[in-house]
Amino acid sequence: MRTNVINTIPEYLELRKSFSNKTVGFVPTMGALHEGHAELLRRARAENDIVICSIFVNPTQFNNAEDLEKYPRTLNNDLDLVSHLRTDYLFCPEFNEMYPDKYLYKIEEKEFSKRLCGFHRPGHFDGVLTVVMKLFNIIKPTHAYFGEKDYQQLSLIEGMVHAFFMDLKIVRVPTIRNSNGLALSSRNTRLSTQGIKKAEIFANILNQPKKTIEDIKKELTHENIEIEYVESYGSRRLAAVWIEGVRLIDNV
């Protein structure tokens, strides 16, 4: 069965009335779906009566116009994948539908969102939290699924749900990696074969628990990998690097 595509909020809200006693599992995405998203959708399918995926390339979380423009858009393939995974509905709104206020209102976290990725991409997490809040208010999921690959994003969303007494459960799903250890990401599609090899080297260098941050940085530099940051946070080690002009993040 083909997944039903919904483009407008009124259309979805009408439908939502019929799910009132059901569990609704939600997987928000920006499209260019891969096996990492598939895992989130499988979990949602296994744990809920209704499964909804959204695709919205959210401009307010991009602090770089070129990055937004180059973000991969593969709607037909995405629709095949969500249909294959028995997703009930795909919500694909336009900018004006999501931002009737033209982003005059936003959600901001004042500490952790300013560190790591947030330090290097000012305003990024304001955009993420704002769009996720909007999506939660529209979709009204009982469960929402996020990958640990975007660890800082996941922690901030959990914090927002707690801070605003939001009535849903955030489900953490472990990072999916290829057979050489590279974390799956929509951005990987922008890398050449050579670039993928380098990205795999990045993942393997980062995943050496006994090495210090300084050692990790030295090894990355030795491989000519441009470092944005490598830092520890709690029991995690997180990093962002640039390969062939593509920004990649990972954490172990």
One residue of 50, 131, 160, 191 binding ligand PAF per CB under 6 A: 131
- Least distance between ligand PAF and beta carbon 135 (Å): 7
Taking CB under 6 A as the binding criterion, the range among 23-31, 109-117, 210-218, 242-250 that sits at the site for ligand PAF is 23-31
Rounded to an integer, what distance in angstroms lies between the CA atom of residue 168 and that of residue 149? 21
Active-site residue, 84 included: no
Q: Are residues 244 and 192 in contact, defined by beta-carbon separation less than 8 angstroms?
A: yes
Is residue 58 involved in binding ligand PAF (CB under 6 A)?
yes
Among 78, 126, 148, 150, binds ligand PAF (CB under 6 A): 150
Q: Which is nearer to ligand PAF, 48 or 58 (CB)?
A: 58
- Output 19 or 36, the one with its CB closest to ligand PAF: 36
163 vs 213, beta carbon nearer ligand PAF? 163
Give dist(CA 155, CA 226) in Å, integer: 26
Q: How far apart are CA 110 and CA 92, in angstroms?
A: 30
Binding mask 153-172 for ligand PAF (x = CB under 6 A): x-------------------
Sheet with 143-147, side-by-side order of all strands:
4-6, 89-91, 50-55, 24-29, 143-147, 169-173
Query: Cα(106)–Cα(131) distance, rounded to whole angstroms?
Result: 9
Tell me which residues touch ligand PAF (CB under 6 A). Answer: 28-30, 58, 61, 128, 131-132, 150, 153
